[in-house]
A and B are shown apart, each in its own frame.
Chain A
């Protein structure tokens, strides 16, 4: 009997009924970790020495899970999938992970990711490419590639992720699972390796909406070590899910969803958008009203560059502490400047260097207004537009990406010259700190595709309840990836 492919509630019930022991769950998760590592390369570290915890009334007690490798874990290698930190073992644990530990959750591995979260393909981890468990010739997307792969493959019911542009919600889509990032600051970022602080969110990848709610209920909370965290004690994500969505109002954006916007659309894109429109009809049957809205294309076209400029600028600043002097492998050189340059030159991958140089360029005094400040201005206009929509609608529902997982061949991690709004719109959730959840909504060529629901800040309970109702109206809950499906 296998348990790691079940929901948190089912596993908890089995533990309470003594149908299975914590030891057996750990053994199953570790065995699957090694199997998945060999096939898909999803992990940086497998924690073979994972210790049992007591089974309590806490739903997460005694249940294995995975930690993205950019969360600091005391005494456990935490690399951010970068050669610059390939031997780094933190002396403290991230607050979100600490909260899971207190609940009795058991980490069985640290998952691979695009280096420091700065990629969307899962191909830039210092341990190599993470492959998609539905089809190993395809990518998982990123940056939470290993977490998405492992949850989809049934290594455990959930794993932590982080999301600066779409790093939880895109991999969830490509792997046929749920990816949820709550309102900015609901989960403390203390101990999460920073990428772009004004956009970084902690969150979770799971196989159903209720599981995602249970996990974030545990991870969240105000933290004196993160001044951007806020008190969410009156928010009860799991308890508030009742599936009652009659009279709720959603909208979708014509300029993103209409196939007419993509004259050279591939068959996969056509099928993806058609599937999305069909699902909207099903959603209406739940008693939810759905309207098409229009958003100025000039705003939508600005999303990609707004993200690139802000994220690269913030990353350049955040990563300045990576010198190899007080941690990280020491570089060689006659003086400390040469040593730092040697460490940074050898340690960072070409992709990261590229982002840093862009960040440096947009922050130069002579360039700042044209690039950095204008990106901040566009960010405000885009967020204002979405907040305007939230005055009339509970949430915005949109398809994720331009179809199922992309092929690994030719998946160069460079910015696409044809910046597709469809690929980039999830970044709006980071610009505004909005609660945002991706759930699977179908299959194209035997590969999963997904839709996303994004609502206004602090309205996480409503967003999750809508997601739960939509999930329940479809047949893609709790699915496990199998290449031979």
Chain B
């Protein structure tokens, strides 16, 4: 059995709320094979599992808490200006609880 199947690709895409065409699914499948082979290049590095994964560029961040400051908020009209469906200062969506 192939390591990667169309069902797997569809499942991963579905979790992201993305639909794929047949062509797109095939493209991802081909790419999975490439990535899987390439990841083996990483696994060839001796004792790779001993290394602490690096999650950020800089290790010397200084995190400072600042005083709370009251700032002017962005107006609701502005906030909703890019929303296609709103009513009475609220975003309108279909019924959520069914």
- Other 10 A-B pairs with CB < 8 A, given A92-B74, A326-B91, A335-B95: A91-B78, A185-B57, A298-B41, A305-B39, A357-B16, A370-B39, A375-B39, A377-B54, A417-B34, A430-B57
Nearest residue (CB) in A for B54 is: A380
Considering the complex, which residues of chain B in the window 67-98 have a beta carbon less than 8 Å from any beta carbon of chain A? Answer: 74, 78-85, 91, 93-96, 98
Contacts of B24 in A (CB 8 A): 350, 353-354
Given contacts A335-B95, A336-B94, contact A326 B83 (CB under 8 A): yes
**Do the beta carbons of A341 and B38 come within 8 Å of each other?**
no
Which residue from B81, B91, B95 sits with its C-beta under 8 Å from A325? B91
B70 → chain A closest CB, angstroms: 14
Nearest residue (CB) in B for A417 is: B34
B4 → chain A closest CB, angstroms: 9
Which residue from A302, A330, A353, A414 sits with its C-beta under 8 Å from B42? A302
A6 at the interface (CB under 8 A from B): no
A348 at the interface (CB under 8 A from B): yes
Given contacts A298-B41, A353-B13, A373-B53, contact A336 B81 (CB under 8 A): no
**Do the beta carbons of B85 and A330 come within 8 Å of each other?**
yes
Mark interface residues in B15-45 (1 if CB within 8 Å of A CB, else 0).
Answer: 1111111011001101110110011011111
Q: Which 7 A-B pairs have the closest CB atoms?
A: A376-B53, A433-B57, A380-B54, A327-B82, A305-B38, A330-B84, A345-B19
Contacts of A350 in B (CB 8 A): 21, 23-24, 27
A381 at the interface (CB under 8 A from B): yes
A375 → chain B closest CB, angstroms: 7
A381 to B49, CA, bound (A): 11
B3 → chain A closest CB, angstroms: 11
A340 to B16, CA, bound (A): 10
A394 → chain B closest CB, angstroms: 20
Considering the complex, which residues of chain A in the window 335-394 have a beta carbon less than 8 Å from any beta carbon of chain B? Answer: 335-337, 339-341, 344-345, 348, 350, 353-354, 356-358, 360-361, 364, 370-381, 383
**Do the beta carbons of A309 and B35 come within 8 Å of each other?**
yes
Q: Which of A224, A316, A345, A377 has the most CB of B within 10 A?
A: A377
**Do the beta carbons of A431 and B41 come within 8 Å of each other?**
no
Contacts of A353 in B (CB 8 A): 13, 18, 20, 24, 28
**Do the beta carbons of B91 and A341 come within 8 Å of each other?**
no
A234 → chain B closest CB, angstroms: 15
Contacts of A323 in B (CB 8 A): 17
**Do the beta carbons of A306 and B82 come within 8 Å of each other?**
no
Given contacts A301-B41, A334-B94, contact A357 B13 (CB under 8 A): yes
Interface residues of A (CB under 8 A from B): 87-89, 91-92, 184-185, 198-199, 224, 227-228, 230, 298-299, 301-302, 304-306, 308-309, 316, 320, 323-330, 333-337, 339-341, 344-345, 348, 350, 353-354, 356-358, 360-361, 364, 370-381, 383, 414-415, 417, 419, 430-433, 457
**Do the beta carbons of A377 and B51 come within 8 Å of each other?**
yes
Interface residues of B (CB under 8 A from A): 8-9, 12-13, 15-21, 23-24, 27-28, 30-32, 34-35, 38-39, 41-46, 48-49, 51-58, 61-63, 66, 74, 78-85, 91, 93-96, 98
A136 to B42, CA, bound (A): 38
Residue contacts A-B, CB under 8 angstroms, 8 given: A199-B57, A230-B61, A301-B41, A341-B17, A364-B12, A377-B45, A378-B48, A380-B53
Given contacts A353-B20, A377-B52, A417-B34, contact A325 B39 (CB under 8 A): no
Nearest residue (CB) in A for B69 is: A224
Given contacts A330-B85, A348-B18, A361-B12, contact A354 B35 (CB under 8 A): no
Contacts of B78 in A (CB 8 A): 91
B60 → chain A closest CB, angstroms: 9
A433 to B60, CA, bound (A): 12
**Do the beta carbons of A360 and B27 come within 8 Å of each other?**
no
**Do the beta carbons of A341 and B19 come within 8 Å of each other?**
yes
**Do the beta carbons of B83 and A380 come within 8 Å of each other?**
no
Contacts of B43 in A (CB 8 A): 370, 374
Given contacts A309-B39, A329-B84, A415-B34, contact A357 B74 (CB under 8 A): no
A373 to B17, CA, bound (A): 25
**Do the beta carbons of A184 and B58 come within 8 Å of each other?**
yes
**Do the beta carbons of A228 and B19 come within 8 Å of each other?**
no
Contacts of A308 in B (CB 8 A): 35, 38
A305 to B39, CA, bound (A): 6
Given contacts A335-B98, A336-B93, A341-B17, contact A358 B52 (CB under 8 A): no
Nearest residue (CB) in A for B79 is: A91
Contacts of A88 in B (CB 8 A): 82
Given contacts A374-B39, A414-B27, contact A89 B81 (CB under 8 A): yes
Nearest residue (CB) in A for B98 is: A335
**Do the beta carbons of A380 and B27 come within 8 Å of each other?**
no
**Do the beta carbons of A376 and B55 come within 8 Å of each other?**
yes
**Do the beta carbons of A360 and B15 come within 8 Å of each other?**
yes
Contacts of B94 in A (CB 8 A): 333-336, 339
**Do the beta carbons of B91 and A360 come within 8 Å of each other?**
no
Given contacts A304-B38, A336-B94, A357-B9, contact A316 B16 (CB under 8 A): yes
